[in-house]
Every structure is written in C-alpha cells, then in structure tokens.
Chains A and B, each alone.
Chain A
Amino acid sequence: MSNLRTGSLVMIKMTRGLSILPVAAVLLLAQGCALKPKPSELEALEKLRATPSGAAAAKRAPALVKNSDELLKRAQDEWHSSNLDESVDAALMGQAKLKHAIALADQDASKARVAKAEDDLDDVKEQQEKVKKDLDDMNEKVALLKKLNEKQAALVAETAQAEEERRNLSEQMEKDRKLAADKAETADKIGAAELALKTADTVQASTYASAKYGAAAESLARAQAEAKQEDFRGAQMSADIAKKTADEAAAIAQPIHAEKSKADENRARADTLTREASTIAGVEVRRDARGALQRIVLSIQADQLFTKKQTVITPGRDALLEPIANLMKKKEYLNYPVQIIGFADPRGNSSSLLPLTLARAQSVATGLMSRGVDSKRVMATGQGGSEPLAGGKDRNRNNRIEIIFMYQ
C-alpha cells in the first residue's frame, strides 16, 4: 500500500512539473520492469470471492457477482499493468458488489433460518399444545384420582375411627358390664356374707364363736369399704372370707345354740307345764334334775286317790286324774315321756311296799290311759319306801304317786 501511495505521489509530481520528468521516467521504467506488489484490496477481493460465501452469492445474485468478477478481472489487469490506483478502485468496487451479493445471500440464508425456525416453532408449539393438552388431561385424571384416593383414605380413616370408637365403646360397655357384674357379684357376695353373718347371729355366733364371728364381721366391713372404693375383686375376696368365716362361726355356734335353744325351749315348756300343773288342785308340783335329766314332778298324796292300802282308785276320787290327763294330752307336752312312780312310807314290810306302790302307779297309769293318754308315753313303776319326803307326823306325805314329766 505504501508503495502504491509512493507511486501515486510520483504520478502527481510527474503531472505537476516537467522538472522532475527524468527522475520520474527512471522510476516509471523501474516500476514497469518489475511487477508491483498486489494491492491488499485486490487480495481481499480474491479471497472473498474464493470463500463459500462468494459461491453462494453467485447463485443468489449472479448479476452482482458477475459485475464483481468483471471488476476483479479489471483490478487484476490494472495491477498487471501497474495501474495500482485503478486496480484498487476496481477491487474496492468489486468488494462492494460482492459483499452486496453476499449480504443478499446471507439475507436469504437468514430468511430460510427464520422460516425454518418458524416452522420448527410451529411444530414445537403444535406438539407442545398436544402434549400440554395430554398433560392437562393427565393432571386432571391425577387430580381426580388423588381426590378419589383422599376420599378413600378419609373413608378408611373414618371407618377405622368408627371401628375404633365402636371397639372403645364395646370395651367400655364390656368394662361397664364387667364392672356392673363385678359390682353385682360383689353385692351378692357381700349380701351372702351379711346373710351368713345374720345367720350366725341367729345362732348367737357372736357369743358362741366370738373369734370367728369377729373376724367375719371385720372381713365384711373391709369388703364393704373396698366395694365403696370400687375395689370389687378385693371386696369379693373379703366378702368370701367373711362368708366363710361367718359360716364357720355359725357352724361352731349352731349346735351350741341349738342345744341352748332346745334347753331354753324345754325350760319354757317346762315352766308352762309347771305353771299349768300348779293350777290343778291336790297336786304338788316340784322340779328337780337327775343328772342331765330334768324332771317336773306332779306329786299326789296317795290318800287323795286310794283308801288305806287299796291299790284301786277309790271311786269318785279319780276326777283328779282328769286335769292331769288333759295336761298330758296337750300337744305341747305330747313329747314328754311320763313316768308314774308309786311311793310309800318306808315303815312296815318293805317287800310288800313295792307291789303296793307299783299297783297304785299302774292304777293311775290305767286311769290316765283311760282318759286318752297314749300308753306308749306312760311307764308305771313302784319305788316302795324309797325317797321318803318326810318323817314324824308328816310321814304320811311319803305315801304318794308322782307323775313325772321328763326332759333333757
């Protein structure tokens, strides 16, 4: 380029004056003899023309490229002719034309890219729309399924909860039922223990089996306290113990009480009998005991029934037997065995006294039996002069008939 510029200056100087003509002629000759360096503009044009862009431009704008090629040719010719300025001018113009054509080709390429991109975009958008629609459909299905699953889960949870509540309720009911049953059973057992204790009371176990009875009462009190605290198992155990202990106490007291009761009953009956017998005129009543055997003795003076040594009841005197027989026939006294014993004053022949007293006893027995007294109850014996009651002037009292009611 500097060479070209130098060449141009020389040319200018050459045109300005002939004074430098010889020098210029020499330089021109020198330049003419040697090919000047190719202008860079020309090189650039040649390179540009050789690129694929140049080939593409030739297809897109053949007129422009043809024009450029002509300019290239001219630039080369001018360069070969050492007309560098003209070569540069032609090269620059050629570049402009070729670049113009390349720009047009680039435009087409870009338009093609745009078109392709738009087509692609349309395709992609179409696909996107379809996929989006599918996605929306799928999401809708998923949402529905989720909702369905949630409802199912909720239903399962509700069912489980209901089942849990039902189970809890059932358990509670069972608990309540068991509690009620325990309570009822406890009440029954406490009732049974109370009954046992009352039963024990009836046989006066507190007296006859005080230790057991006290233990039973204590256990019962404990059972009641435990029941109040709803400790039913403990209450039941305590109640069982109370009942068992009360039963044992009752069992211990029962025979004692029975015996005592019987004795009391017998005593009372004997008292009544004694009292009633005492109302009978001509009968002396006394009570005594022979070991465990209690006796109510109705003593009748022999002369109230018999005359002297007679063994047959004197007629008219047997009326005395009537109230005695009635007494013996009373149902409260039917169980009394009755012994009729004849006694005599021990003076005299004792061997004759026994038959006398026996005969007299039998006469009285017969008299009683003839008035309806059961013969099985009556036993007549003669004791002779034994068991005298008195001596001296009262010794006549020893002649007597004793009607003895016996009991345990």
Chain B
Amino acid sequence: MHRYVTCFLLMASLSIPALARAGEADDLQRIIEDGRQTANDLERLDEQKAVGTELTFLRTWLDRAWSLRSQEKYDAVRVVTDRCKAQADMIREKITASKLAAQADQKEAEVVRARATLERTKKALEAAKIQKYRLEGKS
C-alpha cells in the first residue's frame, strides 16, 4: 500500500508540472493572440498614423514571444508579453495624444480662421465707419 501511494505520488509529481506547462503555453498563446488582436485594433485606431513604428515593434515582439513560446521559454515569453502589454498601453495613450493633438491643431486652426474672420470683420467695420462718415458728410 505504501508502495502504491509512493508510486502514485511519484507519478503525480511527474505529471503536475507537465500539466502546468501545458496550461501556461495555452495561456501565453491566448495572451499573444490577444496582443495581436490589440495591435490590429490599435492600427485601426491610429488615424493620424502616429504610431507606425511602435506598432511594428509591438508586432515584432509578439512574433518574438510566439517564437519563444514555441521554444517553451515561458519566462522569456512573459517578459516579452509584459513589454508588449506596456507597449500597447503606451501606443493607446499615444494614439489618444495624437488625436488630441490633431484636435488641438484643428481647434487652433479654427481659432486662426476665426481671428482672420474677426480681422476681416473689423476691417469691414472700419470701412463701413469711414463710408458712414463720408456719407454723413455728403448728406
């Protein structure tokens, strides 16, 4: 009986890491695939094309992570996927920043146009005043 228990424990101790590794591989695969999907989503969001380089890096790193996963270097994969996550977060914020910058540019351009319109209106007002004085002089 003791021998069986020992055998069982031995077999269990041998099989649990294997099972755990299989679960981690799947988990990493899911993370990598999520990262790729995220990269695609971010590319679609990048209307200003402000993060092309960063996205390239992200995809390269995801490929690298996939490669490391295939080599069952799960710790290294974790390092790379963590970096990919940070890179994705950064890209998202950078896209937001670029959109805000574009919005700011647009607003500032709008201000410039409005100021130009204001200047034209002021000039028109001055011209109208002069015209009024002239007309008053005539009448």
Interface residues of A (CB under 8 A from B): 89, 92-93, 96-97, 99-100, 103-104, 106-107, 110-111, 113-114, 117-118, 120-121, 124-125, 127-128, 131-132, 134-135, 138-139, 141-142, 145-146, 148-149, 152
Main secondary structure of the interface of B (DSSP, over half): helix
- Give 25 CB contacts A-B under 8 Å: A93-B82, A93-B83, A96-B83, A96-B90, A103-B93, A106-B97, A106-B100, A107-B93, A107-B97, A111-B104, A117-B107, A117-B108, A117-B111, A120-B111, A121-B114, A125-B114, A128-B114, A128-B117, A128-B118, A131-B121, A131-B122, A134-B125, A135-B128, A138-B125, A141-B132
- 8 closest cross-chain pairs (CB), A and B: A110-B100, A117-B107, A113-B104, A103-B93, A145-B135, A100-B90, A96-B86, A106-B97
Distance (whole angstroms) from the CB of A95 to the closest CB of chain B:
8
How far in angstroms is the closest Cβ of chain A from B98? 8
Q: Which residue of A lies closest to B90 (CB)?
A: A100
A117-B111, A127-B118 known; A103 vs B94 contact (CB < 8 Å) = yes
Residue of A nearest to B79 (CB): A89
Q: Could you tell me the distance between the alpha carbons of A121 and B128 in the complex, rounded to whole angstroms?
A: 25
Q: B34 — which chain A residues lie within 8 A by C-beta?
A: none
Query: Nearest chain B CB to A117's CB is how many angstroms away?
Result: 3
B29 at the interface (CB under 8 A from A): no
The answer on a CB contact under 8 Å between B121 and A132 is yes
Expressed in whole angstroms, the Cα–Cα distance for A145 and B118 within the complex equals: 25
The answer on a CB contact under 8 Å between B103 and A110 is yes
Which interface residue of B86, B117, B136 has the most chain A CB atoms within 10 A? B86
**Which residues in window 72-109 of B have CB below 8 A to A?**
79-80, 82-83, 86-87, 89-90, 93-94, 96-97, 100-101, 103-104, 107-108
Residues of A within 8 A of B12 (CB): none
Q: A-B contact count, CB below 8 Å?
A: 104
A-side contacts of B15, CB under 8 Å: none
Q: Which residues of B contact A146 (CB under 8 A)?
A: 135
Q: How far is the CB of A322 from chain B (nearest CB, A)?
A: 112
Does B87 lie within 8 Å of A114, measured CB to CB? no
Quote the shortest CB–CB distance from B108 to chain A (angstroms): 5
In the bound assembly, the distance between CA atoms of A406 and B108 in angstroms comes to 144
Q: A96-B83, A110-B100, A146-B135 are in contact. Are A124 and B111 (CB under 8 A)?
A: yes
Nearest residue (CB) in B for A140 is B128
Instruction: Say if the beta carbon of B13 comes within 8 Å of chain A.
Output: no
Q: Which range holds the interface residue count of chain B?
A: 35 or more
**Which listed residue (B87, B96, B118, B128) contacts A96, Cβ 8 A?**
B87
**A110 in contact with B83 given A100-B89, A118-B107, A145-B139 (CB within 8 Å):** no
Residues of chain B having any CB pair with chain A under 8 Å:
54, 79-80, 82-83, 86-87, 89-90, 93-94, 96-97, 100-101, 103-104, 107-108, 110-111, 114-115, 117-118, 121-122, 124-125, 128-129, 131-132, 135-136, 138-139
Instruction: Tell me whether A110 and B97 are in contact (CB under 8 A).
Output: yes
Complex CA gap A127/B116 in Å reads 12
Distance (whole angstroms) from the CB of A216 to the closest CB of chain B: 68
Residues of A within 8 A of B139 (CB): 145, 148-149, 152
Cβ of B14 to closest chain A Cβ, rounded Å: 23
Q: What chain A residues lie within 8 Å of B103 (beta carbons)?
A: 110, 114
User: Which residues does chain A contribute within 8 Å of B94, judged by CB atoms?
Assistant: 99-100, 103, 106
B57 to chain A: closest residue by CB: A92
Given contacts A92-B83, A107-B97, A117-B104, contact A99 B114 (CB under 8 A): no
A149 vs B134: C-alpha distance when bound (angstroms)? 11
| Minimal beta-carbon separation of B3 from chain A (angstroms) | 37
Please give the distance in Å from A66's CB to the nearest CB on chain B: 14
B124–A135 touching, CB < 8 Å: yes
Cα separation A121 to B125 with both chains bound (whole Å) = 20
Contact B111 A135 (CB under 8 A): no
Across-interface contacts of B96 in A (CB, < 8 A): 103, 107
* Assembled-state Cα–Cα distance A44/B130 (Å): 62
List, in ascending order, chain B residues with CB within 8 A of A124's CB.
111, 114-115, 118
